[in-house]
Amino acid sequence: MEIWDRQKDESAKAYQWFCRYLDYGVDRSFMKVRKKYGESSISMRLFERWSAQHQWIKRCRSYDESVEAERRKELRAHAIEMAKRHMEQAKTLQKKAITRLEELSPEELSPTELLRFLEVGMKLERETLGPPLEDISGDKVDPIGVKLGKELMERTERLLANRRVGGSIET
pLDDT in tens, 128-157: 777 665 555 566 655 555 566 667 677 777
Report H helices in 1-110: 12-23, 30-37, 44-53, 56-103
Mean pLDDT over each residue of the chain, to the nearest integer: 84
Question: Between the CA of residue 128 and those of 51, 123, 124, 132, 142, what are the distances in Å?
Answer: 59, 9, 6, 11, 14
pLDDT score at 104 = 85
**Which of the 8 DSSP states describes residue 84?**
H
The residues near 32 (Cβ < 8 Å, ≥ 6 apart) are 24
pLDDT score at 138 = 61
pLDDT tens, position by position, 18-43: 999 999 998 999 999 999 988 788 89
pLDDT tens, position by position, 69-82: 999 999 999 999 99
Residues 30 and 48: beta-carbon distance below 8 Å: yes
More confident residue, 159 or 52: 52
pLDDT score at 169 = 44
Query: Please, which pLDDT band fits residue 111 given cuts at 50, 70 and 90?
Result: confident
Tell which residue, 152, 166, 168, 165, has the closest CA to residue 115: 152
Neighbours of 55 (CB within 10 A): 14
d(C-alpha 22, C-alpha 89), whole Å? 43
d(C-alpha 12, C-alpha 4), whole Å? 14
Q: Is the pLDDT of residue 166 over 70?
A: no
Half-sphere exposure of 54 (CA within 13 A, CB side): 27
Helix (H, G, I), strand (E, B) or coil at 133: strand
pLDDT score at 170 = 45
